[in-house]
Amino acid sequence: MNDTNGEDDLAKEGTSPVQESEERASYLSAEVNSERRYFIIGATGAVASVGVVGAAIPFLQYWQPSAKAKALGAPVKIDISKLKPGEILSPILSYRGQPVFVVYRDAKAIESLEGEDIGLADAASENSEQPDFALNPYRSKRPEIGVFLGLCTHLGCSPKHQPANVFANSDQGGFFCPCHGSNFDLAGRVASGVPAPTNLTVPPYRFASDTEIIVGELEANS
């Protein structure tokens, strides 16, 4: 009887080795699960942050000008080395999506532009668009080379270059708009009594050399 009671007391006072092993295993498992939970939460947060940054990059790129948009506004280099007196440069290049006319005026054409202003609606280019250097009878930096945007100032049609014109002060040619019949001389000056209200626009440009024009840029002192 005494031996049995002693064993019962021992069982009450202590824990068996099997129970201790099970409790330790349960404790370690809880720690591992807790660490795994923290790791998963941290990793999820990191992935979410990367996702936010990744989403922001395309959004920011959306507001950046495209290569095409940059190209449209970029200066245009034009080689005039093969242009001869009396000719218009071909093929016609464009600046900001608009055709650019480059004409080589011979001595007779230059002389005709220096003559009387009869038959011109805006001979002095007071109501037309051009850089300050083009406020002269040629509307150009050099008398022999004319540079214009090839769009009629009426409704934006593209005038045609013609060797002979009907202007009272010019028999050297000019530009004729086939849409509504507006005429311009070799300085891009519009004739009186036609639909076009102003002269052809002269874009900003400069000479990089005797044979190269850069449309879209002005010289520092222009």
Every domain of the chain and the residues it spans: 2-62, 68-222
pLDDT for the residue numbered 50: 45
Q: Do residues 124 and 170 touch, judged by C-beta distance below 8 A?
A: no
pTM of the model: 0.67
pLDDT at 189: 95
Number of H helices, E strands in the chain: 4, 9
Collect the ranges in the chain with pLDDT lower than 70. Answer: 1-72, 164-171, 221-222
Q: Are strands 212-215 and 205-209 parallel, antiparallel or unpaired?
A: antiparallel
Could you report the per-residue pLDDT of 39-82, keeping only the tens digit for each? 445 545 544 444 444 444 454 455 555 666 656 678 999 999 99
pLDDT (0 to 100) of residue 171:
66
Pairwise CA distance, residues 61 & 69, whole Å = 14
pLDDT of residue 32: 47
pLDDT for 85 equals 92
CB atoms within 10 A of CB 144: 15
- Angstrom distances, CA of residue 190 to CA of 88, 111, 121, 123, 161: 18, 18, 6, 8, 14
Kind of pairing between the strands at 212-215 and 174-176: unpaired
pLDDT of residue 24: 58
Say if CB 29 and CB 37 are below 8 A apart: no
Residue 25, pLDDT score? 52
pLDDT on residue 219: 85
The residue type of 72 is L
pLDDT of residue 63: 52
- Domain 68-222: give its CATH architecture: 3-layer Sandwich (2.102)
> Strands 98-104, 94-95: parallel, antiparallel or unpaired by DSSP?
antiparallel
